[in-house]
Amino acid sequence: MFPDLKGFVRPGSEEDKLARQLDFSRLPRHVAVIMDGNGRWAEKRHLPRIEGHRAGAKAVQEVVEACGHLGIKYITLYAFSKENWKRPKREVARLWKLLEDYLRKEDKQLIKNKIRLMVIGQMEDIPPSVLRELERVMDLTKACDRLTVVLALNYGGRTEIVDAVKKICAAGDIDPAGLDEDSFSRYLYTLRSPTPTS
């Protein structure tokens, strides 16, 4: 068994059996998770939607912990899209509050586990108190090197493309004929992390 799983996976458990089937040399360096369906999960159980988001946050914590133990270096969590602003204002406020509370409570755990936090997306639209916590925790964890958690907040794929094109135009020294996927990727939010599954 991969040595870092000792104490994380109970011997003889289903997880242990699954871990024994893994080829650890073929695990990706970067995985991405689209967080979706938490509200629907709660509604099916006749719970308030925020309870689904709390359950989703707990599941994310387990996934992040597993990634750390498996030796995966990056995980991107698509947590709040541009479209999420269309939800009821109360739900949106609670989502941001959930993130803010998590950052305040878990900052020491992130440092202890050597987990670095990064954010991609249009940060200027994030509520100020949440943005302060994000910046504080990113600064606290900037030297951590076991696992990098990238939160995609106020993120949209098309928005990322438009922002990249704006940066290219502002740079003014790009020959359109020489623009390819590699050169374009240098202007994306994801510049500082490897491509998921690589």
Which domains are delineated in the chain? 3-192 (3.40.1180.10)
**What is the pLDDT confidence band of residue 155, given thresholds at 50, 70 and 90?**
very high
| Predicted confidence (pLDDT) per residue in 14-55, tens digit | 888 887 888 888 888 999 998 888 778 888 888 888 888 888
Name the pTM for this structure: 0.86
* Catalytic member of 36, 101, 139, 145: 36
**What is the pLDDT confidence band of residue 75, given thresholds at 50, 70 and 90?**
very high
Average pLDDT over residues 66-79: 90
* Catalytic member of 4, 16, 84, 113: 84
pLDDT at residue 3 tops 60:
no
Q: In degrees to the nearest 10, what's the CA dihedral of 64, 68, 28, 13?
A: -90
Q: What is the pLDDT of residue 47?
A: 86
CB 2, CB 66: distance < 8 Å: no
Q: What is the pLDDT of residue 13?
A: 86
**What is the pLDDT confidence band of residue 197, given thresholds at 50, 70 and 90?**
low
Catalytic-residue membership of 84: yes
DSSP 109: H
pLDDT at residue 94 tops 50:
yes
What is the spatial order of strands in the sheet that 74-81 belongs to?
Answer: 30-34, 74-81, 147-155, 115-120
Average pLDDT over residues 125-151: 96
Q: CA distances (Å), 50 to each of 45, 97, 173, in order?
A: 12, 11, 47
Higher-pLDDT residue of 184 and 191 is 184
CB 29, CB 72: distance < 8 Å: yes
Catalytic-residue membership of 125: no
Written as one letter, the residue type at 83 is E
Average pLDDT over residues 69-74: 89
pLDDT at residue 122 tops 60:
yes
Q: What is the pLDDT of residue 1?
A: 47
CB 190, CB 121: distance < 8 Å: no
Name the β-bridge partners of 32.
76
**What is the pLDDT confidence band of residue 179, given thresholds at 50, 70 and 90?**
confident
CA separation for the pair 102, 81 (Å, rounded) = 19
**What is the pLDDT confidence band of residue 171, given thresholds at 50, 70 and 90?**
confident
Q: Tokens standing for 197?
A: 């599954």
**What is the pLDDT confidence band of residue 121, given thresholds at 50, 70 and 90?**
very high
